[in-house]
Amino acid sequence: MGLELYLDLLSQPCRAIYIFAKKNCIPFQLHTVELRQGQHLSDAFARVNPLKKVPAMKDGDFTLVESVAILLYLARKYKVPDHWYPQDLQVRARVDEYLAWQHTTLRRSCLRALWHKVMFPVFLGEPVSPELLAATLADLDVNLQVLEDNFLQNKAFLAGPQISLADLVAITELMHPVGAGCQVFESRPKLAAWRRRVEAAVGEDLFREANEVILKAKDSTPVDPTIKQKMMPGVLAMIR
Ligand code: GTX
């Protein structure tokens, strides 16, 4: 059996892996694990990832979880163009720097923005307080400013003149608040121009395809109460 990817494109790290594999013509079998149906909690999926989270990858008998590890595995195994994860020591270190930073900062605030603005009210039927929503959006704003000032600076892409894994991870993160209807790019022309460059480098059709689910997140139908009850501990741990 060749490469198998277990994904739900509602999830940011899954979108990054999906775009990367498709863009680089890496052949894979897609197993969709619908988070909103609780499929990640099934016994069958627990045999792939005992942590019950997407993304997950199988390459023959080898199983790997954690999106950054999966992206690096694919970049190293397949002959992808150098710009994705450059051989140059210092440019590569810039990519690593972003990948290390994002997990507990931008990624977290984008995830919280999605849950606090859309998922709790629409998907779980419980709006959050205006104070909590305001704090979440303020935190997102701080991290967007760091992305712009400290990482993008005056470059075309986060690690230099060409697109890398850092841009892919960042843009897929930002599609969470965009899908939730937050103003991410409207008052940030520099980030908006960067988004257009990333979209052009990825290809507009692939970008649209990968983001279709998140852009429709607002229309999510309420989840079955049994699934909701099973998912709540995971959800609360994810967004705390
Ligand atoms: N550090 C891991 C990685 O980068 O791969 C994190 C994986 C992770 O948290 N996956 C989430 C999951 O499977 C999906 S990403 C967030 C999706 C938000 C929308 C959900 C409707 N979570 C399931 C769980 O924790 O129960």
Q: How confident is the model at residue 34 (pLDDT cuts 50, 70, 90)?
A: very high
Q: Give 215's contacts (C-beta < 8 A, 6+ positions apart).
A: 175, 178, 179
**C-alpha angle 197-202-206 in degrees, rounded to nearest 5:** 130
> If you search the block for the tokens 């959006």, which residue do you land on?
137
Average pLDDT, the chain: 94
Identify the residue whose C-alpha is closest to ligand 1 atom 18. 11
Distance in angstroms (rounded) separating the CA atoms of residues 91 and 96: 9
Cβ–Cβ under 8 Å, residues 136 and 114: no
Cβ-count burial 159-176 (b if 16+ within 10 Å, e if not) = bbebbbbbbbbbbbbbbb
Percent of the chain topping pLDDT 70: 98
Q: Higher confidence at residue 193 or residue 128? A: 193
pLDDT at 224: 78
Torsion sign, CA atoms 217, 218, 219, 222: positive
> Residue 33 class from Cβ within 10 Å (0-12 exposed, 13-18 middle, 19+ buried)?
buried
Q: How confident is the model at residue 46 (pLDDT cuts 50, 70, 90)?
A: very high
Q: How confident is the model at residue 208 (pLDDT cuts 50, 70, 90)?
A: very high
Cis peptide before 50 (omega within 30 of 0): no
For range 94-105, the mean pLDDT:
97
Tell me the Cα Rg of the chain. Answer: 18
- Please state which of the ranges 107-111, 147-151, 214-218 shows the lowest mean pLDDT: 214-218
Tokens of 40: 């990640």
For range 185-194, the mean pLDDT:
97
What is the atom index within ligand 1 of the atom nearest the CA of 54? 13
pLDDT at 238: 76
Distance in angstroms (rounded) separating the CA atoms of residues 178 and 175: 5
Percent of the chain topping pLDDT 90: 82
CA–centroid distance, 18 to ligand 1, in Å, is 15
Provide φ and ψ at 189, rounded to 5°: -60, -30
Identify the residue whose C-alpha is closest to ligand 1 atom 23. 53
pLDDT at 77: 97
For range 178-202, the mean pLDDT:
96
For range 220-233, the mean pLDDT:
78
What DSSP line would sit under 170-193, residue for residue?
Answer: HHHHHHHHHHTT--SSTT-HHHHH
CA–centroid distance, 73 to ligand 1, in Å, is 19
Q: Higher confidence at residue 232 or residue 159? A: 159
Q: How confident is the model at residue 123 (pLDDT cuts 50, 70, 90)?
A: low
Identify the residue whose C-alpha is closest to ligand 1 atom 13. 53
Tokens of 184: 């991410």
CA–centroid distance, 54 to ligand 1, in Å, is 6
Element holding 135 (H helix, E strand): helix 130-146
Own/partner long-range contacts of 192-196 (Cβ < 8 Å, ≥24 apart): 194/152, 194/156, 194/157, 194/167, 195/171
- For each of the domains in the chain, give its residue range(s) and CATH number, in order of start: 3-80 (3.40.30.10), 84-239 (1.20.1050.10)
Element holding 3 (H helix, E strand): strand 3-7
**C-alpha angle 25-28-29 in degrees, rounded to nearest 5:** 145
